[in-house]
Amino acid sequence: MAPLFIRGEVEFGVITQSTMAFATLVGALSLVVTQFQSISSFAAVISRLGSLGEAMEHARSPAAAPIDVREDEARVAYERLTLFSPGNDHVLVRELSVSVPRGTRVLIAGPNDTAKVALFRATAGIWEHGSGRIVRPGLDGILFLPERPYLPPGTLRDVLVRTGREGVIGDEQIATLVHALGLEPVLERTGGLDVERDWDDVLSLGEQQLLSVARVVLAAPRFAFLERPRMVLGSEEAERILSLLRERSITYLTLGDGGDGLDDYDAVLELAGDGGWTWKPIEAGREGVEKSAERS
């Protein structure tokens, strides 16, 4: 532009306009370079969202023979229940047919951890990949205690007492149970029953598990289904919990972790790695599980 200005062919203002136009053009062309990291991150997010959308679409697609869930307050039963891995239709449990009447305490053992977790979730109604029938009490009659419980923010009373039972459960009952589970330090540290807290920030995983057990006991369901309580609490604490459930006439089914004793059970359901299963009365189950523990 300078030669044009010197020759008088353009006015001085045109030089300023040209400079601004050039800066704008350079900025536009440099966008990919200057924002490369942001664009790469955005592309990764879009890719993950696409994968999530595909997975959700697959999960929403109805199974060919969905699991039929029926209610019976007196038992937990599985009738020709087959469970598959999501996505690849690998058989985890094949044609399981077992009935657990109230009062029969069951250890679910065996090397197939994925199958055990699938059975736990299918009984809770959150595993849809399979066929057959599950018979269990309604959700007021059976409670599920996962290995890692979820305690929503709120008061300790909200955590311990189920909605609708506030007028039934008094402070004396709560105090007795807190003492039985050794939770007095938690009660003191958190400021009592009616102080709101974010429990993930305040409590250890073991303390959260014990509070979840207390909630189950105060709810007094007919059945409780526990996912590997020894993994978080240890053998001694887990045995104390099972003893407490037994004293309250709560029938329990427990996912084992390979080192469980059999004194707290009446039967063993062993899930094999190929989808097979075996139901053993406690004496036969004792021998089988002890041999398995010796091998490990």
The answer to whether residue 284 scores a pLDDT higher than 60 is no
Cβ pair 109, 269 in contact under 8 A:
yes
Model confidence pLDDT, tens digit, residues 90-146: 999 999 999 999 999 999 999 989 999 999 999 999 998 999 999 999 988 999 999
For the chain, the domains span 2-60, 68-295
How much is the average pLDDT of 190-217? 89
The answer to whether 215 touches 162, Cβ cutoff 8 Å, is yes
Whose CA is closest to 231, among 259, 204, 250, 207?
Answer: 259
- How far apart, in whole angstroms, are the C-alpha atoms of residue 101 and residue 14? 93
Give 68-295's CATH code, choosing from 1.10.10.10, 1.10.1040.10, 3.40.50.1000, 3.40.50.300: 3.40.50.300
User: Which residues have C-beta within 8 Å of that of residue 274, sequence separation ≥ 6?
Assistant: 91, 94
pTM given for the model: 0.71
Residue 295: pLDDT band (50, 70, 90) is very low
**How many residues are there in the chain?**
296
Give me the residues paired with residue 227 across strands.
255
Q: Dump the DSSP string for 210-265.
A: HHHHHHHHHH--SEEEEE-HHHHH-HHHHHHHHHHHHHTT-EEEEE--S---STT-
